[in-house]
Structure 1
Amino acid sequence: MSNLFPVGRDFMNFGKNFFEDPFDHLLAHTANFNVDIREEENAYIVEADLPGMPKDSIQLKYEDNVLSIGATQEDGKDEKDEEGNYIRRERSTKSFNRQFLLKNVNEEKISAAFDNGVLTVTLPKKDSEGATPKQIEIK
């Protein structure tokens, strides 16, 4: 409750402190990863920054015009005494998920590469030549 009222140097942060979600600190480990999407003439290029993630912990799926990128990272730290008994044992798991709507993709030609912590997904567009726009009758 005491953080709801500004004191001295905290006056400029009054709005942030008053309207802040009280559960924000619990979600600190569920941050998302950065993604860049470029549309080129023949393809969409998606680059996702996943530093420190092993390639086998990344899940990549394209279904119903939605590209889904997910990753799970597990960390552990064990400290033992001379007899091999645990003094401290900590474990944490972080999950990351992002989804993007990308239409007109040739699903059979999607490719992906993971190099130096950057996942690059190339989603070639379907050929739109010969496709004629559908006229819609107004009633």
Structure 2
Amino acid sequence: MNSLFPTRRDFMNFDRNFFGDSFDHLFSSATNFDVDIKESDKEYTLEADLPGLTKEDIQLDYHNNVLSIGAKQEEGKDETDEKGNYIRRERSVRSYSRQFILKDVDEEGITAKFDNGVLTIQLPKKEVSDSTKNKIEIQ
């Protein structure tokens, strides 16, 4: 009798139970990507792994000390019979988005390149003088 009512575990595994293993790649947690950030005295270097994407799929923005990386990937598979009728037609869209706070960056000097699935962004630092700090006297 208990098997007639779905349990919480059944809902948690809905994608696997309903679609089977052939659609597992559609439900994977692919909304993030791996990023390495290195800091030196003169710049930040960010490397993001984005395999399977092209540079046209990627959007970069630096505004108010925040570096935003976004990407959108669309895939489709069509299988037809000899008459051109669909036997199977699949479409998927994946969106990737990450943001990083990187302060004191010279916005005019930012460069980026995309090679073999790796996005490399160079963010040179501004010269920051100590006079920008406001010392507050306690009374």
TM-score, structure 1 length as denominator? 0.79
State the identity as a percent: 56
Query: 1:29–1:94: 8 Å Cα contact kept in structure 2?
Result: no
1:61 maps to 61
1:107 Cα offset (Å): 0.4
Distance in 2 (alpha carbons) for counterparts of 1:30 and 1:76:
17
Q: Which residue is 2:114 aligned to?
A: 114
| Deviation sequence 1:56-107 (CA, Å, 0-9, x none) | 0000000010000011111100000001111110000000000000000000
Q: Which runs of 5+ in 2 are unaligned?
A: 1-6, 16-25
Task: State whether structure 2 residue 130 is matched by structure 1 residue 131.
Answer: yes
Secondary structure class of the residue paired with 1:56: helix
Report the AA paired with residue 64 of structure 1: N
CA pair 29-79 structure 1, distance change in 2 beyond 3 A: farther
Q: Is the 8 A contact 2:48 2:119 kept in 1?
A: yes
Unaligned ranges ≥5, structure 1: 5-20
- Code of the aligned partner of 1:38: K
Contact 2:31 2:97 in 1 (8 A): no
Secondary structure in structure 1 of the residue aligned to 2:108: helix
Q: Is the 8 A contact 1:36 1:48 kept in 2?
A: yes
Letter in 1 for 2:76: G
Alignment match, 1:40: 40
1:79 corresponds to 2:84? no
Change (3 A) 1:66 1:88: same
Equivalent position SS for 2:88: strand
How far has the Cα of 1:30 moved from its partner? 4.0
1:88 partnered with 2:63: no
TM-aligned CA distance change 1:59 to 1:24, over 3 Å = farther
Task: Tell me the distance in 2 between the aligned counterparts of 1:79 and 1:90.
Answer: 9
